[in-house]
Structure 1
Amino acid sequence: MSEEKLFASTNPGNYSIGSVYGPDLVEGQALKIFLGGHWFSGRVRRPHTTVAAGSSSAGEDEVQEASEESFPASDPPAWTAENPERSFASQSTSGSVDSCYFVVDEDGSICGLCAGMLVKTQ
Structure 2
Amino acid sequence: MQSKPTFAPQLVIPNGVTDISFYIKAFGAVELRRFSDDDGTIHVSELSINGALFHLHEQTQHSTAVSPDKYHATTVTIGLFVDDVHEVVAQAEAAGASVRSPVQDYDYGYRQGEVIDPFGHHWLIEKAI
Q: Mark yes or no: TM-score above 0.5.
A: no
Give the structure with the higher percent helix.
2
TM-score bracket relative to the smaller structure: under 0.3
Q: When the two structures are superposed, what TM-score results if normalisation uses the length of structure 1?
A: 0.24
Which structure shows the bigger proportion of residues in strand conformation? 2
Instruction: With the length of structure 2 as denominator, give the TM-score of the two structures.
Output: 0.23
